[in-house]
């Protein structure tokens, strides 16, 4: 199977009401917050001992991936349907209908086993990303598009995987994460999947050759601030690490050498909390042609042909009567003359064919590295039925406790009611209005003292009583103008308690 990349994640309910009792409630909440802050050892221990395993299931092999993961869901803390991409205008596009029976079955089983169900939004068009995120109106519309999808489908959260961004987009991507956090982050998980960053001293031959004006597309400190988990895509290494290239004889073209992965993760840990980091681990491999440079320089060069799953490599080895061996990067590999390839396409018949792939043992090494570094866990790309089936035995050695809820270190929830994601104004109707009335009643700004709109009798109609209660809340929070319109600023005020 070739790897395709498309462009196109509480109870403090109170019966108190009225302004005096609202202040009492605030004091109680402050007490709980202080109590939480005085127990950092408890929270740290609870997080660092909970090893997490997450996995992406791609839409292009959803049937095979779901059939493969279902019997082993107990080994995961989160599953990520790799289904969403983004249109040029910033709206979401669903490559596979999550209401299909196979996805519904996965979600039902995940909920039963308290495994988070968090779809991925993958976007790899740098021009479109820059165009949407730098424009405040387009960016906010994009946030609304994601928020609406999360709440409409009651996902546990969303996974943001925006790749190949320009360095100039960095501040706007950070703003996007901030606004997304304000919109859904109070009880939904925001996962961020980002490219691996190789240390500069490994990317350049000497200190003198490192550009003085180099810029990065991701602000690690801002990502740490707004993301509940950060998945480092520690794969597709190739020849990017010059020091490891020099230390290893040819062929050396790994998907992910553990030594390189450690460098990448340690660099990220300088700005991102290790309790949030998951090491992205590949389950696939790449096939290359290795040959002496056609320029006459005498250097060895590589031409990447395609990706494949371990099952394909095993079949290939049998056909060629070869036995895979483990290379210096910890992966399995095969080497043979390209002219002997059973593949009908032979780009360079005079070349040497090199296949290197991540099997269960290579995955185990990454899991052990995660334990050694004390990070949150690992994220597998991808579960599509073609991964090494010995993977399941490996994962059984890394049990974790799952409850599907955000940990206290991220949020202190004070209400059983949701905070509406959509903007609301006088005359609006629907369940979001009922949710808003519940919030107002809980916060001491009663829509009504009895009858429709009163606590326990909230309605779906945004009338004058709802607007009056909302104006009182806005004035109390210093929101101007206090016009009784429920938008981004008022939503953030509810989130901040």
Nearest C-alpha neighbor of 463 from the set 437, 489, 495: 437
Nearest C-alpha neighbor of 287 from the set 349, 327, 238: 238
How far is residue 289's CA from residue 307's CA, in Å, rounded to a whole number? 13
Give domain 285-357's CATH architecture: Roll (3.10)
How far is residue 59's CA from residue 384's CA, in Å, rounded to a whole number? 9
Nearest C-alpha neighbor of 189 from the set 161, 156, 220: 156
What is the per-residue pLDDT for 184?
87
What is the per-residue pLDDT for 4?
36
> Do residues 477 and 439 lie in contact, with contact meaning Cβ atoms separated by under 8 Å?
no
**Fold designation for 19-282+359-395:** TIM Barrel (3.20.20)
> In a structure prediction context, what are the per-residue pLDDT tens digits for the chain, which is 497 residues long?
333 333 332 233 332 333 344 444 444 444 444 444 444 333 333 344 589 999 999 999 999 999 999 999 999 999 999 999 999 999 999 999 999 999 999 999 999 999 999 999 999 999 999 999 999 999 999 999 999 999 999 999 999 999 999 999 999 999 999 999 989 877 899 999 999 999 999 999 998 999 999 999 999 999 999 999 999 999 999 999 999 999 999 999 999 999 999 999 999 999 999 999 999 999 999 999 999 998 989 999 999 999 999 999 999 999 999 999 999 999 999 999 999 998 877 888 899 999 999 999 999 999 999 999 999 999 999 999 999 999 999 999 998 767 555 544 333 333 446 788 888 999 999 888 998 998 898 888 889 888 899 888 899 999 999 999 999 999 988 898 899 999 989 988 887 65
What is the per-residue pLDDT for 324?
97
How far is residue 24's CA from residue 32's CA, in Å, rounded to a whole number? 13
Phi, psi of 94 (to 5 degrees): -100, 110
Strand residues in 37-138 grouped as ranges (E): 52-58, 78-86, 92-94, 116-117, 120-123
What is the per-residue pLDDT for 345?
77
- The predicted-structure confidence for 109-121, as pLDDT tens digits, reads as follows 999 999 999 999 9
How far is residue 157's CA from residue 295's CA, in Å, rounded to a whole number? 51
- The predicted-structure confidence for 165-201, as pLDDT tens digits, reads as follows 999 999 999 999 999 998 987 789 999 999 999 999 9
pTM: 0.74
CA of 93: how far to CAs of 6, 98, 106, 146, 241, in Å? 11, 12, 20, 11, 36
How far is residue 239's CA from residue 342's CA, in Å, rounded to a whole number? 26
Sequence spans of domains, the chain: 19-282+359-395, 285-357, 431-495
What is the per-residue pLDDT for 405?
58
């Amino acid at each position: 199977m070739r790897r395709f990349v498309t462009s196109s994640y509480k109870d403090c309910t109170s019966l108190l009401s009225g302004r005096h009792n609202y202040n009492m409630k605030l004091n109680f909440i402050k007490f709980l917050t202080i109590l939480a802050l005085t127990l950092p050892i408890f929270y740290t221990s609870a997080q660092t001992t909970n090893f997490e395993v997450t996995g992406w299931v791609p839409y292009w092999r959803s049937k095979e991936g779901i059939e493969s993961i279902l019997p082993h869901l107990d080994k995961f803390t989160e599953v990520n349907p790799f289904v969403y991409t983004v249109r040029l205008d910033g709206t979401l596009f669903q490559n596979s209908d999550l209401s299909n029976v196979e996805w519904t079955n996965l979600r039902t089983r995940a909920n039963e086993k308290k495994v988070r169900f968090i779809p991925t939004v993958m976007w790899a068009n740098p021009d479109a990303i820059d165009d949407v995120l730098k424009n405040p109106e387009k960016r906010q519309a994009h946030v609304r598009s994601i928020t609406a999808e999360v709440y409409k489908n009651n996902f546990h959260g969303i996974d943001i995987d925006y790749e190949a961004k320009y360095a100039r987009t960095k501040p706007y991507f950070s703003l996007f994460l901030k606004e997304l956090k304000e919109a859904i982050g109070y009880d939904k998980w925001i996962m961020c999947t980002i490219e691996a960053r190789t240390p500069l001293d490994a990317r350049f031959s000497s200190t003198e050759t490192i550009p003085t004006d180099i810029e990065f597309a991701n602000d690690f400190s801002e990502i740490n601030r707004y993301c509940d988990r950060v998945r480092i895509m520690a794969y597709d290494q190739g020849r990017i690490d010059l020091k490891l290239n020099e230390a290893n004889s040819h062929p050396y073209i790994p998907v992910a050498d553990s030594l390189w992965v450690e460098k990448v993760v340690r660099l990220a840990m300088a700005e991102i909390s290790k309790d949030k980091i998951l090491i992205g681990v590949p389950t696939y491999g790449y096939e290359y042609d290795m040959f002496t440079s056609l320029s006459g320089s005498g250097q060895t060069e590589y031409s990447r042909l395609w990706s494949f799953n371990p099952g394909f490599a095993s079949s290939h080895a049998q056909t060629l009567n070869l036995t895979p061996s483990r290379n210096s990067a910890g992966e399995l590999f095969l080497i043979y003359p390209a002219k002997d390839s059973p593949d009908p396409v032979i780009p360079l018949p005079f070349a040497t064919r090199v296949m290197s792939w991540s099997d269960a043992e290579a995955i185990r090494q990454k899991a052990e590295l995660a334990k050694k570094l004390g990070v949150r866990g690992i994220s597998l790309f991808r579960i599509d039925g073609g991964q090494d089936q010995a993977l399941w035995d490996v994962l059984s050695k890394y049990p974790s406790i799952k409850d599907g809820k955000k940990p206290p270190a991220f949020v202190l929830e004070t209400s059983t009611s949701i905070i509406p994601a959509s903007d609301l104004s006088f005359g609006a109707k629907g369940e979001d209005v009922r949710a808003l009335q519940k919030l107002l009643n809980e916060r001491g700004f009663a829509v009504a003292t009895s009858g429709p709109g009163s606590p326990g009798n909230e309605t779906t109609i945004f009338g004058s009583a709802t607007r009056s209660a909302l104006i009182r809340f806005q004035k109390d929070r210093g929101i101007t103008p206090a016009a009784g319109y429920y938008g981004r600023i008022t939503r953030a005020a509810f989130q901040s308690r």
